[in-house]
Structures are given as structure tokens and as C-alpha cells.
Structure 1
Amino acid sequence: MEEQTNRTPNRMEQGETRVDDLHLDRVVASQPEIGPTPPDGGYGWLIVVSAVIYHITVPALLSLYGLIILKAIREEGHEDNEVLKIWDVDIALVPVIALVIRLLLESWCRAVVKIFHMPRFMALSGLCLTVAGVLLSSYSTDAASNDHIVNTFSGIFAGIGCALTGQQTEVIITHYFREKLTMAQRIVRMAPSVGNCLVPILIGYLCSVYSGDVVVMIYGAIIMQNCIFLASYTRPIYIEKVLRHTYNMLRDAVEDEDEVIFSNQARKSEAERKNNEPSSSQGEPSSSHNNMAVEEDGTDVVVFNSKKNAKEILDPSIQYRENRPASKQSRFSSDFSTMYDTGSNRFSSDFGSLDINTYARVNGYQELENIDRQAPQPLYRETTVNAPTNSVVFAAEVSPGTARRTASLKKNFFTITNMLKDINFYLYALLHICTTFSILILGLIFPPLIWEQNPSMNIWSVSTLIAAAHGSALCFIMLCVVLPKSINEKARLCAAFCVAGAMGFYGIAMSSNKSLLVVWCMLASFSTAASSILQQPLYNSTLNEFDTTATMTASNTIVAIFIMTWSLLYNYDYKTCFLTASILQTVTACMFFALSFRRRR
């Protein structure tokens, strides 16, 4: 009894440890899709810090080019009654083209990132392309320079680099987090607001000391320092070890057929085997050893200890039949005439003695019914041979490759059809247009607009005002990080953010007071940043019925076409740009609020 009482806690402790060890990391499975579990922290937080530093410096390129445009206009000279327009300085083409290229290539870059699995190489390659585009744009910082080719290629290089590094960052964060993934993504999406607060102060100081081309090159060198942090992008250890070693062990175990044992008989030791080998080599019959082995355990089946020197353990009756001198027939023949005779051979193919009328007791052979009337049909044949009309999917002349391509096209067609029928797709695309356009206008055009309405201000004072406005908005943006993962009222929350943005952009266009500009810019910055942060959970929650890649590609294409068409259609003045952003915010708010009353699916 004492032993039983002592064993009970030990069993409970073992049970507890076994429950604690039930993780997918320790499961050997034939399909790697079921595991393992991301660590949710550890080295992943270093990845998040590196991504935050990258998103502080690179998205702030809009503020850089906005202050460079202001510096070029001030150096050229500006009259009091002159209305400034977006294409007065040709370098404004760089951020617009970079944004359009990034939107068009994000889905392709995401596919490349997932195919090659080289996070450090992809991230650093994108960073080098971004720096190359920034440095190339330093040749057209003057207001008099109108080199469209240089600015176009600068925007293309910067757009490709931002798309590649940005998608690599999003993918690698999902490898390190699962439970805390939403928080990590929100922290990264909040980083551009920190950049909008810090970078204008740095650029304003550099613009007051150096010329425009030197400022651009210095900031390109600052962006290049991200290579130190992006070098930390690496695949998680659990992917390297578990997927590469644990699943390979399973594969090797399945493919290794050198030792296949199906026997209940205890193995002999190596010494006993070595002692028996000389006796067999001296010419003694091996049947005696086999009989001894069979007497020990009669439940043995065929055992192959190895492919080399394999021996077969036979049933005694079969062994007697094989060894008797009366049996002159070989073990393997093609005569099934004596299939039910215990003294006959085991293998044959003659069904002559089988009663055809008793085929019903054999379930799997339906063709035996007409075996005496027609030639036997092959057991395995293609589905298109002698098949009834309209009973197969593909015709007999269609190759397997053509069938796969046809099925893939049909799948993509159904995916696009379902996407276009879903109202959530249009809501996401509308929010994407509103947020992207607002971020572009607020970063690129707000600095020269402040100076246009207050010509007495210098570049340093303008950059300080911008930093104060974004810093005030950052206090409210930080609250978005602690929002719950699943927000039940996403539509109404987005509507509230868009209403605040509409007020901010309309106030910027209509007021010239410095204090009011800070307040309106704070509302606009808070709205765009909060909508961008909320865009990720909204994207994850509404895209559960159709393919993510198709939705991402379609929405990015719509936004890119809208921005490119709007920017090239007419040379708008600065106030018109902010009024357009205010109208977009208002329309988006109305749509989300109206559709928040629909029945939830």
C-alpha cells in the first residue's frame, strides 16, 4: 500500500510534465503545416525594434521632400499673391512615383519573399535600392531643374526598395509571433508617426545649414545605417532546426527500408549470431535453426533483419511442403487450378476450378461475371477509357498539365468573382485610398503650405511646427496599440477616425493661424495613423472568404491608378489637395457608418 501511495504522486507529476510538453514543437508529423509554434517573443522583439527603426526613417521621406520643396521655393523667390502648385518643383515627382511603384509591386515582392526564404538578403537589397533612389534624386533639388528622367528612375528605385523591404518585414514578423502578432504589427505601424515627429527637426536643421542636394545625400546616408538593424533579419531557430531536422528524421525513417522487422520473437545477441555463423558455413542445413526459431514463438511472420543476408521464417507446414521430395513444382507458378488444395502451390493465376457463379462473395471483382463470355479487362485503366459519355471532367486528349492549368484558371476566376461580389473588398479599398492619399498630402505638401500662408516663417520654424503637431498626435496614436485584437465595431470606429481627419484637412486648407494649424494637423495626423493601424485587423477580418493575394493586388492597383490619375490630371494648388483629402475622409466616414448597420455574417 505504501508503494502504491508513493507511486501515485509520481504518476501525477509525470502526467503534469507530459501535459506541459504537449507542444507542436515536439510533434513529429508527416506534414510540416501542423507545427511548430512561434516563440512569441525572444529574438522576435529584436526584429520588431529593427522594423521600427526602419519605419521611422524610410516613410519620413515624404517630410524630407516636402522640406526640400520648401527650400527650393524659398531660394527661387516667391511673390505674396502667387499661388503655389504641386508641380512647381520637379522633385515632387519622386515621392509620387515611389508610392505608385510600391503599391503595384507589393504583392509581387511578397511572393518573391515567400519563395526564396532569404530575409536578410531581401531586406538589405530593398534598402540598397531605396538609398540609390534617394541619392539619385539629389541631382534635381533645385526649382529650376526639370530632369524628369532622373526623378522617374529615382522614384522607381525607391518604390521597389520600399516594397521589397516592407513586405519582408511583414512576413518575418509573422514567423516570430502568433499570440502577440497584433501588438507587434501595431507597434511597427505606429513607427512612421514617430518619424514624422523626429525627422522634420533633423531636416529643418540640415536645410538651414547645407544646400538641398547635400541634405538629401546626408539623409540617404542616414537611411543606409538601417543595414545594421536589417542584418538581424533571419529565419527563426525553430524553422531551421525543427523543420529541417525533425521532419527529415521522419522522412528518413519512412524511406529507410534497410531494417524492417515484424516479429514477436526476441532477437539473438551478436555473440550468439557469430557463434551460429560457422556452423552454417560448414554445410549444416539451416532448416534446423529455422525449426528451433519457430518452436520458440509460433506467431512470427516474415522478418527481414536487413536487405543484406535476408532470411525468411516460414510456417512449418509450408516448410515441410517445400522441402518434401514429392513436390516437383516450383513455389511460384501460374496454375490456380488447385488453389484450395492445401498441398498445392500458394501462388498461381488459374481460376479454372473456381465457380464463377459464386463471384458475389468476392466483393472487389465485378468483372468475373462475364469472364466466360468476353476477354478479360485490365484491372487498372485510365478513367477515360471505355467511359460513359459526359461522365468525365476532361476529354481523353487533354494532358495532365493542361488539366492543372485549367483548374488553376477556374480557381482564380472564382476567387476574383467572389472578391468583386463582396462589399468588404470595396470598403477596404476605399479606406486604403483615403489613408494613402492623406499620408501623401500631409507629408509632402503641408510644409510649403504653411510657408505659403505664413511667409515670415523660416524653414526651422516650419519644421518645428510640423514636429509639434505630429508629436501631439502621437500621444493619441499610442492608445491604438492597446486596442483589443477583435474590435466589434470596426466600421463605426473607422468612421469616427475619418470624421476627425475630415475636420483636420479642411481646417488646414482654410486657416492660416499657426496655433490652429497645429491643432488641425494633429487631428489629420491622428486620423491617418489610426486608420493605418486599424487597417491591418480590418484587412484580416474581412478577407476570410477570398484569396488574400488577389485582394491585396486589386486594392493596391486601384489606389495606384487613383493617385497617378489625380496627380497627372491637373496641376493643383496646395489648398485644393487638402480639400480633396477632406472630401475623401468624409465619403469614407459616411460609407463605413452607413454599412455598420448591416447584418453581420
Structure 2
Amino acid sequence: MENPTLTDARQTDRVENRTEDLHLDRVVASQPEIGPTPPDGGYGWLIVVSAVIYHITVPAVLTLYGLIILKAIREEGHEKEELLKIWDVDIALVPVIMVVIRLLLESWCRAIVKIFNMPRFMALAGLCLTVAGILLSSYSTDATTNDHIVNIFSGIFAGIGCALTGQQTEVIITHFFREKLTMAQRIVRMAPSVGNCLIPILVGYLCTVYTGDIVVMIYGAIVMQNCLFLASYTRPIYIEKVIRHTYNMLREAVEDEDEVIFSNQARVSNERQQSRQTNNSSINNEPLPSNAQEDDGTDVVVFKSNKNAKEIIDPVIQHRENINQARFSSDFTSMVEGGNTNRFSSDFGNSNRFSSNFGSLEIGDYERVTGYQELASIENDSQNPQPLYRETTVEAVQNNLVFAVEMTPGTARRTASMKKNFITITNMLLDVNFYLYALLHLCTTFSIMILGVVFPPLIWEQNPNMNIWSVSTLIAAAHGSALCFIMLCVVLPKSINEKARLCAAFCVAGAVGFYGITLSNSKSLLVVWCMLASFSTAASSILEQPLYNSTLNDFDTTATMTASNTVVAIFIMIWSLSFNYEYKTCFLTASVLQTVTACMFFALSFRRRR
């Protein structure tokens, strides 16, 4: 006899398999109205490779400006005991403004990308704006140059370009993958760590050979080479086939219906003309059939469905038509005779049965009306119409309407949209997952910016005997060692049950790394602390996606992205412009943010799951 536990397990497996078979993608339909399944590979992997190369070069712009700031400080001269600050070199405005503009415009760029649906054009347009911002910043690479206008516009152009191309990349990947979408997204999010490992070596070598403006222009030319890869951004073939097939099917259906309608109309009109000619000739030339006298008098006109059918007409009607009197007329003034109260007599004479002209009828003569009762005049009541709704307050004006003007469809649509957005924002603000995502997003974005822009000059401040090449190699070694651990995040399961505690662990590692950078001057220890900080920021960035997906239970994507990005952008802008911080203070701030995020995630990991 079978074990009951095994039987229950088999039944559970059957139910799960049956549930998996209920996906819409497994339904076979003759028309693609349900929507085809993405190929999950093929040409989509070329899109992923192009996105990886783009994310290797463009996010590493932060490291580029960090090394350019270090080069400008070294060329100006620096005392050993002097503490460096973030605004000692004016070009530091470019990466800060770029990050803020990218955050503010990501939701708008995502909407534009979905509306226009031109992936290649949008990606290349964003790339051109990014390159324009980088090249424009080459005019203020010296420490003595304080051209704020040039740096602000450089940051704006670069931020717009990064937001546009980045959102186009995220959207187009979802068109090519579904089952392997998580894997593709994690590979793309891991690409900036590869860039942080390779780009410092390239920029460090260029800084030892060329001046700062030449280095920035060369890197702008390198970034421009992404146009060869972004040109591969195109809509999937199955979407093109669906659009083309559906359009052709609808066009053929409309054309066929038009032809049938027009041909039927022509055929019917021709048959009617032939039947009229046949009826006229038969009435004038042929005698009336004998069975016409036997038909009921109420059957005035009878049509047969046979071909060449003849019209059987009542003799009285035929006599009236022969003397050129129509069966239906609009002039019946002769029907009313003076003093005769019988309006509808059986003797037609020259009068007609139906009339719409009662000009000769005296309306005020009620005595001549028989057979029905005249309705009372409503003119007196219509002079002062009563409102449907009245105000119920004591001081309300008499006969005052609550709604003086009817709501137009456009106003109703805008009102409904405002109510929907208000409900969406309310649900979002009441959801704890939104605050967790916003906090993790703030911690990760701020840490990445500080680690890319401030870490190179901080290493040289703590070790003045190091040159730019040694600083760049130390940064590359730290990020390269962190990359070995970051690659493990790619093979994590799709749905991480303990996302909160896992994020808390990564944030603890990041807090230790950022705080350790401010304490030690040893090169080996700096590599270790930078490795922990780089691993923490990259892993948190990868885990942002499942946490972001979990916040979409009660509200949409646009509200989540817009609200969280606005919070992060406002914090970075206020923090960066409020005070001229020292480099160590920046890392202490990042360590505090990592600690707060870890505590919040760990505390909320014990809550009851929804």
C-alpha cells in the first residue's frame, strides 16, 4: 500500500504542473491577440552584449572625472598637511549634475521611449548627448578654471543622455527576454563593475601622457564608439511580424467588406430600376390579374422574391396613381374643410391621407377637435423651469443649482486621471516596500558617486608619494577583486526569499568598507576596504531589481521610479551644495547611509510577509 505522504506529494506536483500549464504563453491561438512569447535568446544576446559594452564605458565616467580632479590638483600644487575638499576643482560639478539630472529624467525618458518605440534612434540620441556633455567639460579641466556655466551644461547634457539610453536599454531587454530576463538584467547591472576595473587603467595611462583636456576628449571619442553597438537596438522580429500581419489582415478585411457593400448596393439599385420599369409596363399594358380582386384590402402592396416579380396593387391605389396622385404627400391643407368636424373621411377625392401641413387648421378652435382631448398648454410652466438639484444649506440662494455647468468629457477624463494618480500616490506612501526601495536606491547611488569621484584624490591625499598611474592601478585592483564576488550574484535565484536580510548583509559590508577607507593609509588595506565597498554597491544594485518588482503590488512603475529618483536627487543636490565637505566626510556619510539601510532592512525582515 502506498504511503499517504507520497500520494499527497504526487497530487501536489500534478496541481503545480497543471498550474504551470495555464500560462498564456502556452496557449496556442490562430491569431496573435494574446501575444507571442519572446525568443529568450538569439538576437537578444547581441542586445545584451551591446548593453554591457555601453555600461562598461559610460558609468565609468565618474572614475574619469575622479582621476581628472586628481591630475588638476597635482598640477596646481598641494601641501602635505592640507585637507582636500570636493569643490577645490570646479569640474566636480559635472558628475554631480549628471547624476542628479539622470535621476530626475529617468521616468520621463522611459515614457518617451515607450511612446515613440524607436529603440535605435533613442539610444543613439542619448549617446550623442552624453558625448556632447563629456566633450564640453574638456574646457574646464584645470584647477584654475571656474566656468560654472560650462560645467553645469556639461552635466545636464551627460545626464539627459545617460537617462535616455539607459531607459531604452532596460525597455528593449524586456522585449527579447522573459524566462531569462532576470539573468540578462543582472549581467547588464554587473557591467559597471567591469568598467571600474578596466577604465582606471586606460585613463591613468592617458593622464601620464596627455593633458587633462586631451584625456577627456579621447575618452569622449571612446564613448562615441558605442554607436556601433547601439545600432543593433531594434524591435524583435516577432513584434514586426505581428504588426505587419495584423495590419494586412485588417486592411484586407476592410477592402473585402467595402467591395461587397458597394457591389451589393450597385446590384440592388439596378434590380430596383429594372423592377420599376417592368411594373410600369405591366400596369399600362396588361390587365389586372383575377387574384388581385380576391386579396384582402389591407394588403396594399405585395412583393414577391422571385426574379422579375410584379407588384400587385389595390385598384383604388392604382386609379389614384394613374391620375398622378402620390400615395404619400406632405401637403394636406385641402384635407381640412371649413366647418366639417370629420377630419378623416372615407371619401378621399383630391385629398390625401397623411399630412404635415396644418397651416389652415385653427389651433384655438377646440370645438372642432373630436376624437381626442387637446393637451393643455405648457408655455406658462416652461417660463420658470425648476432645477433638478438645489442647495440644502439655510443661507442658500433660492432656485440656485448645485451644478451650474455640465461636466464635459475632457474635464471628466482629467478628473478621473487626477483621482487615479492621487490613489496611486496614497497607496505608494502607505507601502513599506517603497521606503525600503527608496532608501536602498539612495544608499547605492550616493555610494557609487562617492566611490568613483572622490576615492582617487583621497588615495593621493593619504599617500602623496603615489603618482596617477599607481593610484589608477590600485583602484583597478580593488574593483577587480570585488568583481570575483559580484559574479556570484548573477547565479542567485530569481526570487530571493530573504531579500531584506541579504541586503542588510551587503550594506554592513559596505559600511565597514567606507568607514575603513577613512582610517587607513596603507595601500593593501585601501584595496581591501575599497573591495568591500565596491562589492556592496554592486550587489545592492543587482538586488534593487527584485525589491523594485515587489513594490509594484499596489501602484505602477512610473510612480515608484519618479518618487524614489526625486528623493535621491534632492538629497544629493542639497548635500553637495550645502557645504564644501572634505573627502573623508564624504566617505563617513556613505558609511552612515549604509549602516542605516542595513538596520532598516534587518529590522523589517521580521515583519509578516504579505
TM-score of the pair, normalised by structure 1: 0.75
Task: Give how far 1:326 is off.
Answer: 4.6
Alignment of 1:176-575 (within 5 A): 176-250=176-250, 252-253=252-253, 256-258=256-258, 323=310, 325-326=312-313, 397-575=406-584
How many angstroms apart in 1 are the aligned matches of 2:571 and 2:72?
28
The CA distance in 2 between the partners of 1:432 and 1:533, in whole Å, is: 11
Q: 1:253 to 1:80 in 2, by over 3 A?
A: same
String of CA shifts for 1:318-366, please: whole Å, max 9, x gaps: 769x856255889xx99xxxxxxxxxxxxxxx9xxxxxxxxxxxxxxxx
The whole-number CA distance in structure 2 between the counterparts of 1:171 and 1:243 is: 19
Once the two structures are superposed, residues 507-544 of structure 1 have per-residue CA deviations (whole angstroms, 9 ceiling, x without a partner) of: 11111111111111000000000000110111012222
Inter-partner Cα distance in structure 1 for 2:471 and 2:28: 54
Query: What residue number does 1:66 align with?
Result: 66
Q: Distance in 1 between matches of 2:143 and 2:413?
A: 56
Percent pairwise identity: 81
How far residue 397 of structure 1 moved from its aligned partner, in angstroms, is: 1.1
Is 210-219 or 235-244 further displaced after alignment? Answer: 235-244
| Paired AA for residue 28 in structure 1 | Q
Q: CA deviation at 1:284?
A: 10
The residue number in structure 1 matching 2:9 is none
Q: Structure 1 residue 27: deviation in Å?
A: 3.9
- Cα-to-partner distance string for 1:54-84 (whole Å, 9 max, x where unaligned): 0000000011000111111111111111101
How big is the shift at 1:246? 2.4
* Residues 84 and 452 in structure 1, CA contact (< 8 A), matched pair in contact too: yes
The 1:389/1:242 distance shift into structure 2, 3 A limit, reads: farther
Q: Which amino acid aligns with 1:548?
A: T
Q: Deviation string for 1:277-314 (max 9, x for gaps)?
A: 9xx99x999xxxxxxxxxxxxxxxxxxxxxxxxxxxxx
Contact between 1:24 and 1:35, CA under 8 Å: does it hold in 2? no
Alignment gaps of 5+ in structure 1: 1-18, 262-276, 286-314, 335-349, 351-371, 376-384
Question: Residue 403 of structure 1 aligns to a residue in which SS?
Answer: helix
Give, in whole Å, the separation in 1 of the partners of 2:174 and 2:403: 40
Report if aligned partners of 1:425, 1:542 keep a CA contact under 8 Å in 2: yes
The equivalences for 1:21-36 within 5 A come to 27-28=30-31, 32=33, 34-36=34-36
Question: CA offset at residue 396 of structure 1?
Answer: 6.5
**Contact 1:130–1:160 (8 Å) recurs in 2:** yes
Q: 1:517 to 1:25 in 2, by over 3 A?
A: farther
Compared CA separation, residues 245 and 578, structure 1 to 2 (3 A) = same
Displacement of 1:225 in angstroms is 0.4
- In structure 1, the partner of 2:42 is 42
Equivalent-residue separation in structure 1 for 2:416 and 2:592 (angstroms): 44
Query: Match of 1:249, as an amino acid?
Result: M
Q: Return the index of the structure with the highest Cα Rg.
A: 2
| d(CA) in 2 for partners of 1:327, 1:577 | 105
Distance, in Å, in 2 between the alignment partners of 1:373 and 1:557 is 72
Provide the aligned C-alpha RMSD in A.
3.6
> CA separation in 2, counterparts of 1:544 and 1:507?
39
- Greater mean alpha carbon deviation, residues 243-252 or residues 100-109: 243-252
Shift in Å at residue 245 of structure 1?
Answer: 2.2
CA contact (8 A) 2:303 2:312 kept: no
- C-alpha contact 2:304 2:310 (8 A) present in aligned 1: no
Give the number of equivalent residue pairs: 493
- Checking the alignment, whether the CA contact within 8 Å between 1:63 and 1:200 is kept in structure 2 is yes
Deviation at 1:423, TM superposition (A): 1.1
Superposed displacement of residue 165, structure 1: 0.6
Distance 1:213 1:253, change over 3 A: same
For 1:599 and 1:171, locate their aligned partners in 2 and report how far apart those are by CA, in whole Å.
33
Aligned partners of 1:373, 1:544: CA distance in 2, in Å? 66
Return closer, same or farther for 1:248/1:414 CA change in 2, 3 Å cut-off: farther
Note if contact 2:25-2:36 (Cα within 8 Å) is conserved in structure 1: no
Decide whether the 8 Å contact of 1:176 with 1:236 is kept in 2: yes
Structure 2 unaligned runs (5+)?
1-21, 262-270, 280-301, 319-326, 329-353, 355-372, 377-385, 392-401
TM-score, normalised with respect to structure 2: 0.74
Once residues 374 and 45 of structure 1 are traced to their aligned partners in structure 2, the CA distance between those partners, rounded to angstroms, is 81
Q: CA deviation at 1:238?
A: 1.4
Is the CA contact 1:88–1:143 (under 8 Å) kept in the aligned structure 2?
Answer: yes
SS of structure 1 residue aligned to 2:48: helix
Alpha-carbon distance between aligned partners in 1 of 2:387 and 2:560, rounded to the nearest angstrom: 44
Structure 1 residue matching 2:312: 3-state secondary structure: coil
CA shift for structure 1 position 243: 2.0
Partners in 2 of 1:415 and 1:154 — Cα distance? 35
User: Matched residues in 2 for 1:374 and 1:490: separation?
Assistant: 79
- Contact map agreement 1:120 1:231 (CA 8 A) in 2: yes
Q: Return the alpha-carbon distance in structure 1 between the equivalents of residues 145 and 409 of structure 2.
A: 58
- Counting only pairs closer than 5 Å after superposition, residues 113-124 of structure 1 correspond to structure 2 as 113-124=113-124
Give, in angstroms, the shift of residue 497 of structure 1: 0.6
